[in-house]
């Protein structure tokens, strides 16, 4: 029978990342956050609309003052 070797511990001491590569990664990260925020906003809006429809929606009297 084969027994697994004992686990070895690894300690990371230093991580060298070039500055411009890090800047490029952070720009990509910030651009990817925009569609993610839009999608999360739509999901939250749908959940709140379902809850408002289920719980009664409240009174919309404040909209009547702009009605012609």
Is pLDDT at 68 greater than 60 in this prediction?
Answer: no
CA dihedral (55, 56, 58, 64) in degrees, to 10, reads 150
- CA terminus-to-terminus distance, the chain: 85
Distance CA 25, CA 31 (A): 10
Distance CA 49, CA 57 (A): 8
The pLDDT tens digits of the residues spanning 4-61 come to 888 889 898 988 999 999 999 999 999 999 999 999 999 999 998 888 778 776 666 6
């Amino acid at each position: 029978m084969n027994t697994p070797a004992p686990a070895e511990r690894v300690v990371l001491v230093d991580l060298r990342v070039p500055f411009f590569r890090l800047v490029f990664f952070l720009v990509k990260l910030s651009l990817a956050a925009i569609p993610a925020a839009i999608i999360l906003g739509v999901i939250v809006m749908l959940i709140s609309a379902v809850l408002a429809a289920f719980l009664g929606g409240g009174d919309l009297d404040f909209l009547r003052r702009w009605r012609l």
